[in-house]
Chain A
Amino acid sequence: MEKTNKFKYLTDELIQKINYYLNKFPKKEQVIIPSLHEILYVYRDIPFEAIEELSEYLDIPLARIEDVVTFYDMFRHRKNAKNHIRICRNLPCHLGKYRNLLKQIEKLTGAEVDGHSADGLWYIELVECIGSCAIAPAFLINDDLYDGSKIKSEEDLKKILEKYISENSGEL
């Protein structure tokens, strides 16, 4: 689809979603967080230029938006990889030995905690409770949740990770 608006990061599709929130919520400021979620979904991180454009589009001061971005853990300026792996480190997953899972994931992806893999496919982050304590050690790959206790071998993990490699190769 050809882009019709003047922005570089806020695609027509994103503008459409932002407009949806503008119509939906009674106050303009309420649109900041949902818009950031949409930007995050498209870019996997929050490019600074994108919030400059958002500030202009919503006519809300940039500092006000940056204020929100820097407060919430899920919003990040730091460049993300194609796939964002979030491993829970809170008590139930700690008892469930998330460190063993982390080691396996690090080995297979080539990424380390708070870092990218060389191929740009993976980024690993340790996070606080993701509300999945019965399936400890729990982890998220992008929006998908997985049960770490079901991973008995490297093969099991490989099967899950491969799904995201093939999904991505189509786009690359």
Chain B
Amino acid sequence: MKTRENYPHIPEIHVESSINLLLRRAKENRTTPLEEYVTTGGYSALEKALKRLTPEDIVVLVEESTLRGRGGAGFPTGRKWRFALSNPPPRYLICNADESEPGTFKDRIIIERDPHLLLEGMAISAYALGVNEAYIYIRGEYPAGYQILEDAIRDAEEAGYLGENILGTDFSLKIYVYRGAGAYICGEETALIESIEGKRGHPRLRPPYPANEGLFGRPTVVNNVETLSNIPIIVTYESYFMNIGPSGFYGPKLFPISGKVEKPGVYESTMDITLRELIEMAGGMKDGKKFKAVFSGALGVYSKRDLDTPMDYSPKGFGGTGTTIVLDEDDCIIDSLIVIANFFHHESCGKCTPCRVGTYEQHNLLKKFQEGTATEQDLNLLKHLAKNIPIGSICGLGFSAPQAIADAIKKYPEEFEAHLRGECPAGVCF
């Protein structure tokens, strides 16, 4: 049995949970070994699924659970599965562990501390989807996670939880771990599929959707780590799952919180928690400073007025990854947007011109605000780009590239006006 010392160094990351579902074995900075996973109830959901439920039963449970994708887009998982099931086998299941949205570090906690929860979720999902070959696509920057998963799969195969004839049934599953190599775009499902096929990570035109033609042209389901880790919980709890959290947004959710809070870390909660409560859970604002804004990854900017919004999948909520980067009074909105804009410019794969050139222009225009050379026209250009980059791009990266900027223009017009006058309210720029 390998201990943590055998893997590359992983420092302590703070983890807290009010409901102890996804994170029940992940409180400490250690990897839960198979034996401990099993003695604490692990792989019992897989046994129940294989021996007492049909694949259709599981799909219905997932549909009823209202589970939605935890990777960003928030697409209903059950519906995604149905699409794939309407196509004949062989089908593939891919676990998207290419977590690289700025401020997102929740999936790594499951991978590094409780890898068997993910593997059990994948095994049950594969059974439900009629899949015999599955992939975990893990980002290259998680070398420890890669080794932990490889070891966990080997242990599970030896114990009969994965591999041939799982638990004595006629269901077999091979899970491959595939490493990315530092391209954010590979978190986009079609780019990820291209990457697993050994190519550059360029997104594909849709349709056809992966559920119809995905990996090697076969029906493919791509689900996030946290989404798949919910499956054993759903199978165990069945209708009791609907007692966890608010109506329509059932189940546990992980919230990675970073920035200016006292205790940054990964927090597990139900989705009725508000942004204000979440910040309080993370120990409140750092050094008692005043709250300024939250960047939800690269996807949106939330202001004081959103503090009492529940963190669910409703249009006003956070949805998706639950990423929360907190800014205080000393931080500048423009300065932060520049970091995000630079990120998108760097990570645009270059396939669609509006994204490739648009993200570059966004960065340049914001720089002008920081340097004090921006004009009213530059602000209009930013708005124009925010409208047109998504229209002219084929994937989620182009769609989300201007979101934070568009949000900030709407919610913090005074910041832009001040910078036009040559003033930075936080005293960061100029």
Q: Mark A25-41, 1 if CB is under 8 A from B, else 0.
A: 11101111110110000
Shortest distance from the beta carbon of A33 to any chain B beta carbon, whole Å: 6
A134-B258 contact given A74-B140, A129-B101, CB 8 Å threshold: yes
Write out the residue numbers on chain B whose beta carbons fall within 8 Å of the beta carbon of A129: 100-104, 184, 343
Write out the residue numbers on chain B whose beta carbons fall within 8 Å of the beta carbon of A132: 11, 13, 105, 108
A73-B182 contact given A89-B339, A90-B102, A145-B10, CB 8 Å threshold: yes
* Interface membership of A150, Cβ < 8 A: yes
Bound CA span A75–B10, Å: 22
Contact present for A140 and B141 (CB under 8 Å): yes
Write out the residue numbers on chain A whose beta carbons fall within 8 Å of the beta carbon of B196: 30
Shortest distance from the beta carbon of B178 to any chain A beta carbon, whole Å: 7
* Interface membership of B336, Cβ < 8 A: yes
Contact present for B8 and A144 (CB under 8 Å): yes
* Interface membership of A14, Cβ < 8 A: no
* Interface membership of B12, Cβ < 8 A: yes
* Interface membership of A91, Cβ < 8 A: yes
* Interface membership of A136, Cβ < 8 A: yes
Bound CA span A51–B200, Å: 16
* Interface membership of B245, Cβ < 8 A: no
* Interface membership of B312, Cβ < 8 A: no
Shortest distance from the beta carbon of A102 to any chain B beta carbon, whole Å: 14
Bound CA span A133–B282, Å: 14
B window 286-300: CB within 8 A of A? 295
Closest to A29 in B: B198
Write out the residue numbers on chain B whose beta carbons fall within 8 Å of the beta carbon of A134: 13-14, 105, 256-258, 264-266
B window 98-122: CB within 8 A of A? 99-105, 107-108
Number of B residues with CB within 8 Å of any CB on chain A: 59
Most chain B C-beta atoms within 10 Å of own C-beta, residue among A31, A128, A150:
A128
B window 173-202: CB within 8 A of A? 176, 178-184, 195-201
* Interface membership of B340, Cβ < 8 A: yes
A73-B100 contact given A91-B340, A128-B343, CB 8 Å threshold: no
Contact present for B199 and A68 (CB under 8 Å): yes
Closest to A147 in B: B11
Write out the residue numbers on chain B whose beta carbons fall within 8 Å of the beta carbon of A157: none
* Interface membership of B9, Cβ < 8 A: yes
A133-B325 contact given A91-B102, A91-B336, A146-B9, CB 8 Å threshold: yes
Bound CA span A73–B259, Å: 26
B window 1-24: CB within 8 A of A? 8-14
Shortest distance from the beta carbon of A167 to any chain B beta carbon, whole Å: 12
A68-B13 contact given A36-B181, A90-B343, CB 8 Å threshold: no
Write out the residue numbers on chain A whose beta carbons fall within 8 Å of the beta carbon of B103: 90-92, 129, 133
* Interface membership of B347, Cβ < 8 A: yes
* Interface membership of A103, Cβ < 8 A: no
Write out the residue numbers on chain B whose beta carbons fall within 8 Å of the beta carbon of A34: 178-179
A145-B8 contact given A71-B201, A92-B102, CB 8 Å threshold: yes
* Interface membership of A107, Cβ < 8 A: no
Task: Please give 18 more A-B residue pairs, beta carbons under 8 A apart, in addition to A74-B141, A91-B336, A92-B264.
Answer: A27-B197, A29-B198, A29-B199, A36-B181, A67-B200, A73-B183, A75-B182, A89-B339, A94-B336, A95-B259, A128-B184, A129-B100, A129-B104, A132-B11, A133-B105, A134-B264, A135-B12, A143-B143
What are 13 pairs between A and B in contact, CB < 8 Å? Answer: A27-B198, A67-B200, A68-B200, A72-B182, A90-B102, A129-B102, A131-B105, A133-B325, A136-B259, A142-B8, A143-B143, A144-B8, A145-B11
